[in-house]
Amino acid sequence: MTFAQRLADQQAAFGPICVGVDPHASILEAWGLPDNPAGLTRFSEILAQAFAGQVASIKPQVAFYERHGSRGMAALEGLIGTFREAGTLVISDAKRGDIGSTMAGYADAWLGDGPFGSDAVTLSPYLGVGALKPAFEKAAENDRGAFVLAITSNPEGTSVQGAGDPAAAQCVLNELGETNGRYWPGQPGSLGAVIGATAGERISSWSIDVNVLAGPVLAPGVGAQGATVQQAQVVAGSNLLCVPVSRAILRAGPDVTGLKNAHSAQNL
């Protein structure tokens, strides 16, 4: 099955909420855990107890593991393996983007069969959507997916993403839609876009057509950033919607039941 098909099936069973795995220092402290690799490992173990095999997807933010060096990345490796083995989709939020053999290396790392191999990875198109081809090819080859930054939830992105006529964000969506059509003709593609749930006004003012994507939309901004699932549904258009929520769920930890209840409340 393609990544798009697996995501649709998982969300049909568990709902569209993707658990954002953001173990920053304040979350670890609130959970009574040390801000070190041992704390990260215990944090990941608790999340697995609460969610492995019981939610559609998780989105680990790689930076919070990477800052602890090799032992932190070992904790991430364990998290990815545990959730994928349980059947939960892992969308690694690594925001990689480069050219040539370097991009091919990133593709192999995050969409291959190595220790960080995930179901999908986030990518940055600043060097051109076409430069991401090695990741697109790896995704198609291994039935994985990718989410490319298009309209992010941070205000600093506006000047770049809205530049031009059509807007740069529309150009990204157009190229992704064309690529989806080549790799997965006649069906939803596995190359998605990151479109902030708070981006409704920008989509309107920039005359963005999100439906050309023909792939999933990852819509951050729901929960602590103030957006609602309904707003996320609007920015996704007719595309499959995946809604990452981090703080609004994680603040219910470390109690496993509390974490489960917080996830269920977001899915409502």
> Which residue reads 């192999």 in tokens?
108
Strands 217-218 and 241-245: parallel
pTM of the prediction? 0.97
Residues forming beta bridges with residue 241, ordered by sequence position: 217
Q: What is the pLDDT of residue 223?
A: 76
- Whether 95 is a known active-site residue: answer yes
Q: What is the pLDDT of residue 226?
A: 80
> Which residue reads 């990518």 in tokens?
123
Q: What is the pLDDT of residue 60?
A: 98
* Marked catalytic residue, from 59, 95, 133, 138: 95
Map out the domains of the chain with their CATH numbers: 3-267 (3.20.20.70)
- Residue-wise pLDDT for 15-70, tens only, equals 999 999 999 999 999 999 999 999 999 999 999 999 999 999 999 999 999 999 99
- Residue-wise pLDDT for 77-119, tens only, equals 999 999 999 999 999 999 999 999 999 999 999 999 999 999 9
Q: How far apart are CA 136 and CA 129, in angstroms?
A: 10
Q: How far is CA 141 from CA 52, 113, 118, 184, 191, in A?
A: 26, 12, 13, 11, 13
- Residue-wise pLDDT for 75-84, tens only, equals 999 999 999 9
Beta-carbon contacts of 248 under 8 Å, excluding residues fewer than 6 positions away, are 222, 223, 224, 262, 266
Q: How far apart are CA 42 and CA 237, in angstroms?
A: 38
Q: How far apart are CA 39 and CA 191, in angstroms?
A: 34
> Which residue reads 């939020």 in tokens?
93
Q: What is the pLDDT of residue 268?
A: 66
Q: What is the pLDDT of residue 227?
A: 87
